[in-house]
C-alpha cells in the first residue's frame, strides 16, 4: 500500500485550514496544520512533509519570512512549498518564487480545482489539455464525436506559472466554459497565436475570461510586416465582422509581436520558429525544467522527392524539435489526400512521422485534421502513422488526441 503524501498547512485563518484539510484529506493526503507561524519550522522539521502550504499575510511572521526560513533547511530541499494568498500582484508571486516557493495560488479557492492545483505543484507536472484538434473549419456532428469538431486550441498549466494557451480556434470556447466554471480569479495568461488564419483566432472574442475585470492576458504572435498582432486581432472585431470590439474586453489585454526569438516567463522558456505556411506562422517550443513541448501548426513539409522540398528548412525544424517530449503538429492529410493538396500549407502522415522519428521526438500528437475527415478517417491516419513508425523501428510513440484529453508531462 502506498503511504499517503503529507502536507503541512500554516495559516492564521482556522476556516482556511479546515477548508484545505477537507479538500486534501478527501483526496488521500495526510494533513497537519498550525495557525501560528512562529514555531512552524520546528513542527515541520519533525514531520518532514512532502508539501507545505503557507499563507502570505500572517501576524508576527509573514509568509515571505517563513518561505525564506524553510528554504534554509537542507532537510526540506525536496519539499514543495506552496503559497496561498488573496494578494494577486505579480510582484508577490515573483518574490515568493525568488525566496524558494514552488507555487503561488490565489484566493478565493475553488473546492473543485484546488486539490488539482496543489497536486500539479507537488508532483511538478505540466497539464497539457487539447481543446480543439481540428484544422480549417469547426465540424460538429455525429461523424466527429470521438475526436471532437473544434479547431486548434491547447492549454498548458505549468506549476507556479501563468496559464499558457496556444491558438484561439473554436476549441477555446470549451476552455472558456471550464474556466468560468472553475471561477478562478484573477487569471493571468498568455495566448500564443501561430498565425491569424480564421481557425486559429476566430473564437478569441468568445473567450469569457477576457471580459472579466482583474484578469490579464498577453496575446503574442508574429506581426505581418506593417500589420501588428493588435491590428490582426482587432480587424476581426471591428464592427463589420463582429459586433464586440477590443475596447469591450474588461481584462487587461496586451499584445506582443514576436519574431524568431526566445522569451522567458519565470522558469519557462519559449522559443519560436517561422513555419512553412502562407503568411507568417510561428511554431513554439516550451521548455520547463527537463521537459519540453513543441506546438508546430500549420506547416507544410513536402515529400522528399518534390521540387519544393527544402532540406535546409527541415534540418532547422529537426534541430528545433529535437528530443522533445511532445510534438503537437499539423497532420492534416493522409498520404493519398496530400497528393492533390500540394502547396496548401499542410503536411501528410508520413512526412510528419519521418520528421518526428529523425528528431527523436518521444511522443507525436497528430493535430489539425482536415474538416472533411470523419473519426474513422482519423483512426486510419493514426494506424498509418503507427505502421510507418514500426517500419522505421522508431522509439517515437504516436497519439491521436481527442478534444478534452489531458496529458501529464
Cell of 53: 502550504
CB of 171 to Zn ion, least distance (A): 12
Q: Given candidates 92, 161, 199, 403, which one binds Zn ion under the rule CB under 5 A? A: 199
Give dist(CA 355, CA 77) in Å, integer. Answer: 40
Where does this chain touch Zn ion (CB under 5 A) — which range of 139-147, 192-200, 207-215, 250-258?
192-200
Four-point Cα dihedral 393, 397, 398, 399, nearest 10: 160
Contact at 8 Å (CB) between 245 and 211? no
| Helix/strand/coil percent split, the chain, to 5 | 30, 25, 40
Where does this chain touch Zn ion (CB under 5 A) — which range of 20-28, 77-85, 116-124, 298-306?
298-306
Nearer to Zn ion, 157 or 199 (CB): 199
Give dist(CA 175, CA 209) in Å, integer. Answer: 10
Other beta carbons less than 10 A from residue 387's beta carbon:
14
What's the DSSP call for residue 241? Answer: S
CB of 338 to Zn ion, least distance (A): 15
DSSP string of 251-289, one letter each residue: SEEEEEEE-S-EEEETTEEEEEEE-SSSS--EEEEEEET
Where does this chain touch Zn ion (CB under 5 A) — which range of 16-24, 129-137, 256-264, 331-339?
129-137
CB of 317 to Zn ion, least distance (A): 17
Nearer to Zn ion, 102 or 199 (CB): 199
Q: Given candidates 55, 161, 298, 370, which one binds Zn ion under the rule CB under 5 A? A: 298
Helix (H) or strand (E) holding 24: helix 14-25
Q: Given candidates 119, 120, 173, 197, which one binds Zn ion under the rule CB under 5 A? A: 197
CB of 16 to Zn ion, least distance (A): 45
- Nearest-CB residue to Zn ion? 197
Q: Kindly determine how many residues on this chain lie close enough to bind Zn ion according to the rule CB under 5 A.
A: 4
CB of 2 to Zn ion, least distance (A): 44
CB of 353 to Zn ion, least distance (A): 20
Where does this chain touch Zn ion (CB under 5 A) — which range of 138-146, 223-231, 286-294, 297-305?
297-305
Where does this chain touch Zn ion (CB under 5 A) — which range of 40-48, 139-147, 210-218, 291-299?
291-299
| Residue 135 in the binding site for Zn ion (CB under 5 A) | yes
Nearest CA to 385 out of 346, 341, 355 is that of 355
Cell of 119: 497536486
Chain residues that interact with Zn ion, rule: CB under 5 A: 135, 197, 199, 298
Amino acid at each position: 500500500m502506498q503511504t499517503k503524501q503529507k502536507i503541512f498547512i500554516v495559516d492564521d485563518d482556522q476556516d482556511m485550514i479546515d477548508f484545505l484539510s477537507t479538500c486534501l484529506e478527501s483526496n488521500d493526503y495526510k494533513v497537519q496544520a498550525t495557525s501560528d507561524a512562529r514555531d512552524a519550522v520546528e513542527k515541520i522539521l519533525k514531520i518532514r512533509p512532502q508539501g507545505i502550504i503557507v499563507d502570505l499575510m500572517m501576524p508576527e511572521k509573514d509568509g515571505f519570512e517563513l518561505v525564506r526560513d524553510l528554504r534554509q533547511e537542507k532537510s526540506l530541499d525536496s519539499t514543495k512549498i506552496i503559497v496561498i494568498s488573496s494578494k494577486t500582484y505579480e510582484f508577490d508571486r515573483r518574490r515568493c518564487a525568488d525566496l524558494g516557493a514552488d507555487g503561488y495560488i490565489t484566493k478565493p479557492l475553488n473546492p473543485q480545482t484546488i486539490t488539482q492545483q496543489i497536486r500539479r505543484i507537488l508532483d511538478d507536472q505540466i497539464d497539457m489539455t487539447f481543446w480543439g484538434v481540428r484544422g480549417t473549419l469547426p465540424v460538429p456532428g455525429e461523424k466527429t464525436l470521438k475526436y471532437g469538431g473544434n479547431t486548434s486550441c491547447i492549454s498548458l498549466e505549468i506549476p507556479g506559472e501563468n496559464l499558457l494557451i496556444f491558438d484561439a480556434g473554436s476549441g477555446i470556447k470549451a476552455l472558456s466554459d471550464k474556466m468560468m466554471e472553475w471561477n478562478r480569479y484573477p487569471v493571468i495568461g498568455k495566448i500564443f497565436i501561430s498565425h491569424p488564419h480564421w481557425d486559429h483566432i476566430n473564437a478569441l472574442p468568445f473567450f469569457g475570461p477576457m471580459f472579466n475585470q482583474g484578469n490579464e492576458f498577453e496575446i503574442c504572435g508574429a506581426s505581418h510586416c506593417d500589420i501588428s498582432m493588435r491590428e490582426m486581432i482587432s480587424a476581426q472585431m471591428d464592427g463589420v465582422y463582429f459586433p464586440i470590439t477590443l475596447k469591450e474586453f474588461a481584462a487587461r489585454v496586451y499584445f506582443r509581436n514576436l519574431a524568431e526569438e526566445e522569451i522567458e516567463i519565470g522558469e519557462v522558456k519559449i522559443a519560436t520558429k517561422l513555419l512553412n505556411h502562407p503568411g507568417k506562422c510561428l511554431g513554439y517550443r516550451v521548455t520547463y525544467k527537463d521537459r519540453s513541448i513543441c506546438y508546430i501548426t500549420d506547416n507544410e513539409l513536402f515529400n522528399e522527392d518534390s521540387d519544393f522540398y527544402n532540406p535546409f528548412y527541415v534540418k532547422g525544424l529537426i534541430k528545433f524539435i529535437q528530443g522533445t517530449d511532445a510534438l503537437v503538429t499539423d497532420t492534416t492529410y493522409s498520404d493519398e489526400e496530400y497528393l492533390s493538396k500540394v502547396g496548401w500549407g499542410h503536411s501528410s502522415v508520413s512526412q510528419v512521422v519521418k520528421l518526428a522519428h529523425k528528431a527523436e521526438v518521444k511522443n507525436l500528437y497528430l493535430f489539425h485534421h482536415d474538416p472533411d475527415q470523419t473519426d474513422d478517417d482519423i483512426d486510419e491516419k493514426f494506424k498509418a502513422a503507427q505502421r510507418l513508425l514500426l517500419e522505421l523501428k522508431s522509439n517515437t510513440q504516436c497519439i491521436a488526441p481527442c478534444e478534452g484529453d489531458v496529458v501529464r508531462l
